[in-house]
Amino acid sequence: MTLKALAQTKRIKHCNASIQVSLEEELERLKKMLNLNPNLKVAWTPDPSKELSGEVKDNNTIYIYEAEEEKAIQALRHEVIDYLITSKIVKPLVDLINLLIKAREAEIYREKEKMVETLSKII
């Protein structure tokens, strides 16, 4: 590897570390401001082939795929807002619906079986 290529590699690594640090600092600011889960983390994994700018996985890690720092920070903010809405509104609603379904599951099954039995006699 030439000295020029080595210097380029060092600059890229420094830039990469810098973007990760910027994202972590921004996430900490947002967690304090929005009173978010303290275990929420960010992982910067630039990938231009991804259709997404970012996503939340495993309920506590935000993956950012944008390569440019400003776009990466915007993607982080977007994903934090998405995480907030999902965790405070969507997830409790889905949990409630699932609880209601589970509570009525046996009754629903019996009713379905009665209907299947009735329809099979008609046909």
CATH number at residue 34: 3.30.2010
Q: How far apart are the C-alpha atoms of 110 and 24, rounded to whole Å?
A: 52
Within 10 angstroms of residue 19's Cβ, the number of other Cβ atoms is 20
Asked if 24 and 16 count as a contact pair (C-beta separation under 8 A), the reply is: no
Within 10 angstroms of residue 66's Cβ, the number of other Cβ atoms is 22
Q: What is the tally of structural domains in the chain?
A: 1
Mean pLDDT of 72-89: 97
Is pLDDT above 70 for 14?
A: no
Mean pLDDT of 49-66: 94
Is pLDDT above 90 for 10?
A: no
Q: How far apart are the C-alpha atoms of 46 and 41, rounded to whole Å?
A: 16
Is pLDDT above 60 for 120?
A: yes
Residue 102's domain comprises 3-122
Confidence (pTM): 0.71
Q: What is the mean pLDDT of the chain?
A: 89
Convert the pLDDT of each residue in 32-41 to its tens digit.
999 999 999 9
Nearest partner of 83 among 30, 44, 47, 43, judged by Cα: 30
